[in-house]
Chains A and B, each alone.
Chain A
Amino acid sequence: DGGITQSPKYLFRKEGQNVTLSCEQNLNHDAMYWYRQDPGQGLRLIYYSQIVNDFQKGDIAEGYSVSREKKESFPLTVTSAQKNPTAFYLCASSIDPGAGEFYEQYFGPGTRLTVT
């Protein structure tokens, strides 16, 4: 079945440690996205990538880093510089919007990160 996988579902880390969240898709989508969701809040965009080896900062990129070495994969690293990393992280993918168009994004099951 086509879809997006994120692992692990729950992740616990000590403050000061970097942690990498996995996101893999087999939908053959060019565009991929990372969002952060806090309780009672909507989704906020961290990073997005339209194509392999290229990515752009979203609204809240500080303290995060990404890579896009393969079309299928878009891992997110939460660095120790992120001041409040505990949150629910969602990865998504879509057909590349291009200019003037926008397609629905499909989401993975999410990773709930707790940093203590």
Chain B
Amino acid sequence: AQKVTQAQTEISVVEKEDVTLDCVYETRDTTYYLFWYKQPPSGELVFLIRRNSFDEQNEISGRYSWNFQKSTSSFNFTITASQVVDSAVYFCALSAPGSGYSTLTFGKGTMLLVSP
């Protein structure tokens, strides 16, 4: 069974603060994929990153960075110098194909509110 836990339901920060969104996952498979999505108030989910279990290098994309730690089964997302436009619900998701077809398991999301 697969499970994704996003313990932070809601986070409020002031613009320019750094913020980290936590994601902890559970799977018995050795091959799996982790994702982050952003859901702005409009509702459409926007893909941010895909990471496979064999690539533990941290990744940075502009103000976004991701910290993947297999030892703690975590895939945390940091926004540096947050902006009002970062306000959204962020979802972490997991797929563990194993030896067959797999689907995507989502966490319940973290709502980020960035105030001016």
Contact = CB atoms under 8 A, between A and B. Distances in A.
Bin the interface of chain A by size: 20 to 34
A104 B35 contact: yes
B64 to A, nearest CB: 15
B45 interface: yes
Main secondary structure, interface of A, reads loop
Interface in A56-112: 58, 88, 90, 92, 97-110, 112
Interface of B: 4, 9, 31, 33, 35, 37, 42-47, 50, 91, 95, 97-104, 106-109
Contacts, number: 66
A42 B103 contact: no
B44 A100 contact: no
Interface of A: 33, 40-45, 48, 50, 58, 88, 90, 92, 97-110, 112
A9 to B, nearest CB: 9
B43 A42 contact: no
Contact of B99 (A33, A41, A100): A100
